[in-house]
Amino acid sequence: MIGATGGVSSTVALGLAALAEGLTEPHGLVTAHPDLEGVELVTPEDIVFGGHEIRGESLEAAVRHLRAESGLFDASMVEKCASILGNMQRNVRPGTLVGASEAVTALGDRAEVPADATPGDAVERIAADIEAFRVTNKLARVVVIHAASSEPPPPPALLAVTQPAALDQALTGSGEVLLPTSTVYALAAIKAGCGYVNFTPSLGIGLPAALKDAEARGIAFMGNDGKTGETLVKSALAPMFAMRNLPILSWMGQNILGNRDGAVLNDPNTREAKIHSKEKTVAALTAGAPRVGVSIDYVPSLGDWKVAWDYVHFSGFLGTKMSLQFTWQGADSVLAAPLIIDLARLVDLEMRRGTSGLMKHLAFFFKDPMGCDDFNLFNQWRTLVNHVTQETN
Amino acid sequence: MIGATGGVSSTVALGLAALAEGLTEPHGLVTAHPDLEGVELVTPEDIVFGGHEIRGESLEAAVRHLRAESGLFDASMVEKCASILGNMQRNVRPGTLVGASEAVTALGDRAEVPADATPGDAVERIAADIEAFRVTNKLARVVVIHAASSEPPPPPALLAVTQPAALDQALTGSGEVLLPTSTVYALAAIKAGCGYVNFTPSLGIGLPAALKDAEARGIAFMGNDGKTGETLVKSALAPMFAMRNLPILSWMGQNILGNRDGAVLNDPNTREAKIHSKEKTVAALTAGAPRVGVSIDYVPSLGDWKVAWDYVHFSGFLGTKMSLQFTWQGADSVLAAPLIIDLARLVDLEMRRGTSGLMKHLAFFFKDPMGCDDFNLFNQWRTLVNHVTQETN
Amino acid sequence: MIGATGGVSSTVALGLAALAEGLTEPHGLVTAHPDLEGVELVTPEDIVFGGHEIRGESLEAAVRHLRAESGLFDASMVEKCASILGNMQRNVRPGTLVGASEAVTALGDRAEVPADATPGDAVERIAADIEAFRVTNKLARVVVIHAASSEPPPPPALLAVTQPAALDQALTGSGEVLLPTSTVYALAAIKAGCGYVNFTPSLGIGLPAALKDAEARGIAFMGNDGKTGETLVKSALAPMFAMRNLPILSWMGQNILGNRDGAVLNDPNTREAKIHSKEKTVAALTAGAPRVGVSIDYVPSLGDWKVAWDYVHFSGFLGTKMSLQFTWQGADSVLAAPLIIDLARLVDLEMRRGTSGLMKHLAFFFKDPMGCDDFNLFNQWRTLVNHVTQETN
Amino acid sequence: MIGATGGVSSTVALGLAALAEGLTEPHGLVTAHPDLEGVELVTPEDIVFGGHEIRGESLEAAVRHLRAESGLFDASMVEKCASILGNMQRNVRPGTLVGASEAVTALGDRAEVPADATPGDAVERIAADIEAFRVTNKLARVVVIHAASSEPPPPPALLAVTQPAALDQALTGSGEVLLPTSTVYALAAIKAGCGYVNFTPSLGIGLPAALKDAEARGIAFMGNDGKTGETLVKSALAPMFAMRNLPILSWMGQNILGNRDGAVLNDPNTREAKIHSKEKTVAALTAGAPRVGVSIDYVPSLGDWKVAWDYVHFSGFLGTKMSLQFTWQGADSVLAAPLIIDLARLVDLEMRRGTSGLMKHLAFFFKDPMGCDDFNLFNQWRTLVNHVTQETN
């Protein structure tokens, strides 16, 4: 896990512990859906948790913080899992601040985080950490999942880094191109031969030269930006309007949230990347050119809870304007965590099956699925189930 | 149309006129969806409108009433279609009050409605009307669509009418079994060899002996209860929760509406039938045994507008309770009318193709689809598109 | 407290402990409002908690249950207050099931509850308990607050019990009149010379002969039905519409809740009393005759949380129909508890001041304030502040 | 009316006509409230409508536009008032574009609007128009109400214009200070000896030197920004939380609207002024420092309708977080128009009574009442009623 003791990753850690100990039902786990029964997936107890982190807070402290601030998790479950979280913590290595935004750098209070001289140095160090993690824990496969704070949208110069030479230059840190932290982690994952998932709207593996490298090295990868709440609902409702031939006039969404992600998104530049990712679904699923808007506001009192209000204005028969509005109230980390466990299991399955390159069949899990233009949740579901349940030879 | 000058049927009439005159886009018409392009469907201008009605209000008056009370329809559109509505009105024949509830009987202010001596007499009269309508207008096929006021749930004795003899007895009006009006109309439709659709939760063709008769005579039929608003949303959202393996704890819906349907549903007994129909979708689409409730209240100030508020309580990862609530604001007649035009076109298609019996592929259009247990909107859509677009030989 | 270990009373107990220990801010306590500063009110630490209860659950168990089921209260606060709750528990005496509904009787699992032979016996026993409580704890004054489960509306025969003789007859249990449990408790409170507050819609002290008796004996009393959530909002919003001369067309409310109160209200007869109480505010605060409706549904998954959705349809300038809808999400016990502490302090103040009879200035706290026809929250507030802050001579 | 054929003013015109003709009830008119009965106010039929406008659209066209786009107004009412609107139109004079923002200048399509050489010239011209209007129509008093498009917040240099000399300099247009159009109109109103009301968040009469001038000349004036919808609700609900001692943690509002005001507010700079005005109410009415946010988005499909969603997060007893959310759906022009008629009547009353200077008792009508720090709707109401109903000697 990149961002290994953040809200999402801590919940992943607690969840793995609770599932392994039989303390909870697998609610929210797509891989526990009856339609996927029979698929041989790694069990929660066989998954070893580890990662990189720039903040000093431990997994256990993060879990207790979510509990106190946001009312999440049963008290006795936390107590029973505390020692397991302590063991997992040993696998959390210092992250890197190379290429980080100001907002993110301000969060970096972990004493051990070294001042990597160049992006290339950071890549080497992190890849070596992953390799050591694999060896120490005798792991068959490693999946790197990026769940660190959102970054601002990449400048055009970054998207022009298509050739190995340009990437090498960027890794020295001496050119004009500044690699974002998410891409540094992605390059380390590629170097270490891991499966890779980008659960955020950050660039990550999306740097053109990184994509080429990943394909060349047979890496299985997918992203971007986990589809956890408001966008999930959009991807179910927009097809409904389309099937009934009811044109969308406007679809406006207001998101308020209080966690660290919200604090980072309070920076207008970073927010832009997130909004861009969130606006795609409705635009892709509706004919015409509806007015689509998403706003995000940081409301600290909400803690890990996110409240989203969407107003959908549509045109009915004989030009009659009607509306649907919804309010979604969900705990962000708790929505994301099971999807990350799902992705770890499904990417591991692909690696065993020998898949490499872009895993388009995982589009179901993402707001902005790489290489896919079908945002219809139901089509994505069918694609996922068909792909996963068909045996490879 | 049974209930030919009610809110829904009047909107169907206005819609057919406006489409034929090129005054409106086919918004809300499923049969205008790009995925059904190429299917040879009867055009709106080739559909001849007619029906039966117990109230004295004309089509034009009903349309103007909807406009004044509920703010529906563009003024100039109504003016341009007024004379066409006048022509259609000539095809509206007196309905029957045989078997009607008190609430419905109270609405029956049309002077010409005869006091049919027995249900059988009513069946004969209505079938003869339909036959005359067919001949006069030189029609290849007639589809009867039931859109009259909702009836109370059928007593068990009715569901025991399985044999022709029992039905014959009931038609004399002398036995203990009282045929509801909707079934009288359905029997007339069967007798006249029409396609038949029940757009309401009433019994209609669902009387066991009527179903047998319909199958024996090669009638194509389907029902029950058009899926226009709140239930439509449920049938899109409930699968979303299921795919994400998020168990529904409770799903409570509150409906308020102000039209004649609302007034009739103000009778607790009639409301029960409607609620029963509306509760099926969530129960069918969710695992476990969630608390499911629907309430309906008559709020005259809303006119034809219906407001539905649904509160969905669900369980996320690690037992975290979360919620989604939505408010749907739609004009009931305007939501129903295009679906009725769709059904007329699609049943006509089946009749041309030689289909008879239950048309399960039309489940997409119904709250409580006869003979179907798949309430998932997306599966229903796929079934519809596959069926309709495949050529028959 | 009548219903001394129910959700509301348990929260009162925890709240008194937490306030006395300085573990919490007085949020939600009206008597901590700056406008009442300087009024000499009994402090939380000087209030001694006691009461009657028919269920076996202890205060501490009830508090832990609210915590586990509904996510209420900070864990460390509960731990710190546990021994105080244990001390309070000693003051909880067995209640009575005389006159109880079936729904309530089913809850009565406390072994010590005696089978009182007559209502009169129960009155004697409970009054003696209160007297013993007063003596043991060396209390200057006792305030009895009724917070037990709601009862069905009183039959007309009860409201005809206006004379002492009729009341005496009823207390023997031999006549046709069945005194409800709430009235039995009220008579005991009168007998013991306590202040009395009815925080529920039950009859309580409202029996005509009881009212006379209370006045004759110089008892200070008030009710009915604490104004905690949805109705509170109504009493602020309805005056807003009135001041702006915007006529209400319809005001429909849907309440869903999951606690014991919700379970008891699942009985249609009991629900009727509650709905009657809830419907008064809007009717009283609006001109004309708007359509007003309230529905209540039991949704166990919500635990102590109550969700209320209100739809307000109003008429603006030139007859334009507009709407306001709101969703209130509050924890019922947590909303009620501080008001009960407020009422205890304010009734104690009146008793010190020598007030007797109906305390109309407390209307601010009630859905259906006895003897008051001003339901405007702001007028009620002014009356309260003026009354309380003016010194008596 | 400044902005005489905009949505608000056109609705004022239609409303005056409909009231005079007895075609409508005075819904939404505060001055028709029973508590103000007996106050001698000018009747709607005695009010003569006139104003200034930069757009070419006529009153009748504007009214028909609102009807077609937004479904407002009864058709027959519009027909019956059309000729009166035509007469009113003769009193609409060309406005000025001096000092206008780009967004507003783009709207100015009225051919007759002259290119005023300096702000001073515009003031002279407009004052002369008003004078001519008064003479021609034999009016006792004129009230100028500013209802033109919102302007960006005034730069600090403007607020430094405190002395007559600085104002004279600004009127020549040659200095560094650019007078906004709203202030040009206000100066004309002062010069013509009219009562003045600023119904927008623009600067208007708020220029310090203008205020001095108004007071010196005995002008009665008030503003700013009519309290029509979301803020009205806030000013009723925020006191409710305060009275119950429930601290507000966060209060976030999202406004979407589709009319010309929405289009102008699409400019971020202009929007800032409006948001500033809208945020004041909650901040003023709550203790502590809650997170308060307002966002405004332009959604053309809504036409004149505004939808506002507010999420209120508050802290209950024992630190329990709870929430209230509301959705307001109102037609902006229809909400504003009766308040403008009220203000015309009430300012006229003050002028008859000989009042001059700031009319603080009108705070009830404004989002950001000049010179007042009590934002509590109920206190404002009491002040208004007391002031208006007390006879002057």
pLDDT in tens, C48-64: 999 999 999 999 999 99
DSSP letters spanning A248-305: EEEEEEEEEE-SHHHHHHTSHHHHHHHHHHHHHHHHHHSSS--EEEEEEEE-GGGTTE
Query: Which pLDDT score, from 0 to 100, does residue C393 have?
Result: 43
- Pairing mode, strands A305-315 and C195-198: unpaired
Query: Which pLDDT score, from 0 to 100, does residue B392 have?
Result: 55
Within 8 A of A316 by CB-CB distance, chain B residues are 27-28, 330-331, 334-335, 338
B247 with A318: Cβ contact below 8 A: no
Mutate to test the interface with A, among D69, D257, D301, D321 (most CBs of A within 10 A): D301
CA distance A333 to chain B (A): 9
**CA dist list (Å): D91 to A100, D4, D48, D131, D262:** 63, 9, 9, 12, 27
Q: What is the mean pLDDT of residues C256-267?
A: 84
Mutate to test the interface with B, among A318, A326, A339, A343 (most CBs of B within 10 A): A318
Q: What is the mean pLDDT of residues B57-67?
A: 96
Query: Which pLDDT score, from 0 to 100, does residue B391 have?
Result: 67
With an 8 Å Cβ cutoff, the interface of chain B facing chain D consists of 68, 71, 74-75, 327
Query: Strand, coil or helix: what is C228?
Result: coil
C59-70 and C75-89 are packed helices; what angle lies between their axes, rounded to 10 degrees?
150
Phi, then psi, of A389 in degrees rounded to 5: -85, -15
Confidence of residue A270 (pLDDT cuts 50, 70, 90): confident
pTM, two decimals, is 0.95
Within 8 A of A311 by CB-CB distance, chain D residues are 256, 307, 309
The CA distance from C183 to C6, in Å, is 19
DSSP letters spanning B56-76: ---HHHHHHHHHHHH--S-HH
Largest CA distance in chain D: 68
**Contact (Cβ atoms closer than 8 angstroms) between residue D69 and residue D85:** no
Query: Which pLDDT score, from 0 to 100, does residue B393 have?
Result: 42
DSSP letters spanning B145-211: EE-SPP-PPPPHHHHT--SHHHHHHHHHT-SS----HHHHHHHHHHHTT-EEEE-SSS-GGGSHHHH
DSSP structural state of residue A162: -
Percentage of residues of chain C with pLDDT beyond 70: 99
Task: Give chain A's radius of gyration (CA, Å).
Answer: 21
A313 with D301: Cβ contact below 8 A: yes
Q: For B67-87, write each residue's pLDDT tens digit.
A: 999 999 998 899 999 999 999
Q: What is the mean pLDDT of residues C268-294?
A: 84
Per DSSP, helices labelled H in B38-116 are 59-70, 75-89, 102-105
Query: Strand, coil or helix: what is C294?
Result: strand
Q: How many CA atoms lie within 13 A of A180 on its CB side?
A: 27
Q: What is the mean pLDDT of residues B254-279?
A: 83
Which residues, in sequence order, are CB contacts of B239 under 8 Å at separation 6+? A236, A378, B285, B376, B377, B378
pLDDT tops 90 at residue A287: no
Q: Among A291, A349, A260, A254, which Cα is nearest to A69's?
A: A260
Q: For A8-21, write each residue's pLDDT tens digit.
A: 999 999 999 999 99
D311 with A307: Cβ contact below 8 A: yes
Percentage of residues of chain D with pLDDT beyond 90: 85
Q: Which of A331-340, C100-109, C209-218 has the lowest mean pLDDT?
A: C100-109
Phi, then psi, of C289 in degrees rounded to 5: -135, 75
Look at A264 and D333; give whichever has higher pLDDT: D333
Dihedral sign from CA coordinates of B170, B171, B173, B179? positive
> Rounded to an integer, what is the distance from CA C51 to the centroid of its chain?
14
Query: Strand, coil or helix: what is B255?
Result: strand
pLDDT tops 80 at residue C173: yes
Confidence of residue D53 (pLDDT cuts 50, 70, 90): very high
Q: In what order do the strands lie in the sheet with A220-223?
A: A143-146, A195-198, A220-223, A357-358
Q: Which amino acid type is present at position B283?
A: A
Q: Which of A348-362, C93-107, D277-291 has the lowest mean pLDDT?
A: D277-291
**Contact (Cβ atoms closer than 8 angstroms) between residue D144 and residue D198:** no
The CA distance from A21 to A260, in Å, is 29
DSSP structural state of residue A47: P
Mutate to test the interface with C, among B311, B315, B323, B324 (most CBs of C within 10 A): B311
Cis peptide before A386 (omega within 30 of 0): no
**Contact (Cβ atoms closer than 8 angstroms) between residue D311 and residue A307:** yes
**Contact (Cβ atoms closer than 8 angstroms) between residue B321 and residue B249:** yes
DSSP structural state of residue B48: P
B vs D, Cβ pairs < 8 A, gives 5
Tokens of A98: 């190379």
Which residues, in sequence order, are CB contacts of A107 under 8 Å at separation 6+? A54, A55, A149, A260, A264
pLDDT tops 60 at residue A255: yes
Per DSSP, helices labelled H in C90-194 are 102-105, 119-136, 156-159, 164-171, 181-191
The CA distance from D201 to D273, in Å, is 7
Q: b vs e for D70-87, b when ≥16 Cβ sit within 10 Å of the residue's Cβ?
A: bbbbbeebbeebeebbee
Look at B1 and D174; give whichever has higher pLDDT: B1
Phi, then psi, of B291 in degrees rounded to 5: -75, 115
Q: Among A385, A377, A329, which Cα is nearest to A227's?
A: A377
Q: For C177-230, write each residue's pLDDT tens digit.
A: 999 999 999 999 999 999 999 999 999 999 999 999 999 999 999 999 999 999
Please give the mean pLDDT across all residues of chain C.
94
Query: Which pLDDT score, from 0 to 100, does residue D392 have?
Result: 55
Residues in chain C: 393
Confidence of residue A361 (pLDDT cuts 50, 70, 90): very high
ipTM exceeding 0.90, yes/no: yes
Query: Which pLDDT score, from 0 to 100, does residue C141 have?
Result: 97
Within 8 A of B74 by CB-CB distance, chain D residues are 68
pLDDT tops 60 at residue D393: no
Within 8 A of B252 by CB-CB distance, chain C residues are 254, 256, 297, 299
Q: What is the distance between the terminal CA atoms of chain A, rounded to a whole angstrom?
A: 31
Chains contacting D (3 or more CB pairs within 8 Å)? A, B, C
pLDDT tops 70 at residue A391: no
The CA distance from B195 to B358, in Å, is 10
Q: What is the distance between the terminal CA atoms of chain B, rounded to a whole angstrom?
A: 31
Query: Which pLDDT score, from 0 to 100, does residue B272 have?
Result: 82
Q: Among B225, B159, B192, which Cα is nearest to B93's?
A: B192
Mutate to test the interface with D, among A296, A299, A306, A322 (most CBs of D within 10 A): A299
Phi, then psi, of C93 in degrees rounded to 5: -100, 160
D302 with A313: Cβ contact below 8 A: yes
With an 8 Å Cβ cutoff, the interface of chain A facing chain D consists of 249-250, 252, 254, 256, 291, 293, 295, 297, 299-302, 307, 309, 311, 313, 321, 323, 325, 327
> Rounded to an integer, what is the distance from CA B114 to the centroid of its chain?
25
Instruction: Please tell me which of the candidates D245, D316, D334 has its beta carbon nearest to residue C317.
Output: D334
pLDDT tops 90 at residue C268: no
Phi, then psi, of C66 in degrees rounded to 5: -60, -40
Query: Which pLDDT score, from 0 to 100, does residue D281 have?
Result: 86
Query: Which pLDDT score, from 0 to 100, does residue A12 have?
Result: 98
Q: For C2-20, write each residue's pLDDT tens digit.
A: 999 999 999 999 999 999 9
Confidence of residue A174 (pLDDT cuts 50, 70, 90): confident
Within 8 A of A338 by CB-CB distance, chain B residues are 245, 316-317
Phi, then psi, of A113 in degrees rounded to 5: -65, 115
Cis peptide before A393 (omega within 30 of 0): no
pLDDT tops 70 at residue C391: no
pLDDT tops 70 at residue B237: yes
Within 8 A of A296 by CB-CB distance, chain D residues are none
